[in-house]
């Protein structure tokens, strides 16, 4: 028996980037609250491992977990995965856009491929999934969508121009979509993490204590530290997503919830 304080029991959720550090934690949180979850990612092996790990963990959970390998930047694949998800799991109540890529580097060294690939996943993927899923939500008169953006969408960062711009696009798109869909009872919100202890972040590190610049700040990069004195955990982000999807946020839409320990000073 799950503790259904969020109204998730029996709901169907679709999570992109489900094999990633944040996405996988969102899947775990939704399932623990009683939801059936479709897991979308380009890494089928990682999806299968995650499903097996959750099912073998013994943690009381919800309905079925279905791996849906797909490239969110491919319109045909997105259409097919949404069709399959609804056929196998039922009507989608919640969509979480957590798929993301990071190609760091100064603008002068970014290639057209870096730019295109970043926007293809971080922005176009959000558009494609939202378009496909919301088309099914509208006739049913309800649903909730959360897009994982970044605090970099509103605060300039060195060596992160493509990533920041793509996340800003996803952020603005999600709010515009929410305005269009509000009359249909569909809520659209954004969660904007800061530095989070995931492979995306740690892949940029080298050497012992490499996390300290993120926590303490880097003057040469015009970056303040994290006032709470720690990196976010994926669970911190997942809890914010869970809240915005839940019945407890029934009158919240078009909002951007920053989860960065104060790193952007509330801006």
pLDDT tens-digit series, residues 103-151:
999 999 999 999 999 999 999 999 999 999 999 999 999 999 999 999 9
- Catalytic residue positions, numbered: 163
Q: What is the DSSP string of the chain?
A: ----TTS-TT-EEEEESTTSHHHHHHHHHHHHTT-EEEEEES-HHHHHHHHHHHHHS-----S-EEEEE--TT-HHHHHHHHHHHHHHH-S--EEEE-------B-GGG--HHHHHHHHIIIIIHHHHHHHHHHHHHHHHT-EEEEEE--GGGTS--TTBHHHHHHHHHHHHHHHHHHHHHGGGTEEEEEEEE-SBSSHHHHTT--STTTTHHHHHEEGGGTEE--TTSSPBPHHHHHHHHHHHHSGGGTT--S-EEEESTTTTTT-
* Domain-wise residue ranges, the chain: 12-259
pTM, 2 dp: 0.95
Q: What is the mean pLDDT of residues 251-262?
A: 98
Whether residue 3 is predicted with pLDDT greater than 60 in this model: the reply is no
- Residue 1's pLDDT is 43
Among 210, 188, 214, 58, residue whose Cα is nearest residue 130: 188
Instruction: Say which CATH superfamily domain 12-259 falls into.
Output: NAD(P)-binding Rossmann-like Domain (3.40.50.720)
């Amino acid at each position: 028996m799950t503790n259904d304080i969020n109204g998730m029991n029996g709901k169907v959720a679709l999570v992109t980037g489900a094999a990633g550090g944040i996405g996988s934690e969102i899947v775990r949180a939704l399932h623990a609250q009683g939801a059936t979850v479709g897991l979308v990612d380009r890494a089928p092996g990682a999806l299968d491992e995650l499903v097996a790990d959750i099912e073998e963990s013994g943690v009381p959970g919800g309905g079925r977990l279905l791996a849906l390998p797909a490239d969110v930047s491919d319109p045909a694949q997105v259409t097919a995965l949404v069709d399959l998800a609804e056929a196998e799991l039922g009507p989608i109540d919640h969509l979480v856009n957590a798929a993301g890529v990071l190609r760091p580097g100064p603008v002068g060294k970014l290639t057209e491929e870096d730019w295109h690939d970043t926007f293809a996943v971080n922005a176009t993927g959000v558009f494609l999934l939202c378009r496909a899923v919301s088309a099914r939500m509208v006739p049913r008169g309800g649903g909730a969508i959360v897009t994982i953006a970044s605090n970099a969408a509103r605060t300039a960062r060195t060596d992160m121009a493509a990533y920041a711009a793509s996340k800003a696009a996803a952020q603005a798109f999600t709010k515009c979509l929410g305005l269009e869909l509000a009359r249909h009872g569909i809520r659209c919100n954004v969660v904007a993490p800061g530095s989070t202890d995931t492979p995306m972040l740690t892949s940029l590190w080298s050497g012992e204590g490499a996390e300290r610049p993120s926590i303490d700040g880097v003057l040469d990069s015009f970056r303040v530290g994290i006032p709470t004195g720690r990196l976010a955990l994926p669970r911190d982000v997942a809890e914010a997503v869970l809240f915005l999807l839940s019945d407890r946020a029934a009158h919240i839409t078009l909002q951007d919830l920053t989860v960065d320990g104060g790193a952007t000073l509330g801006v």
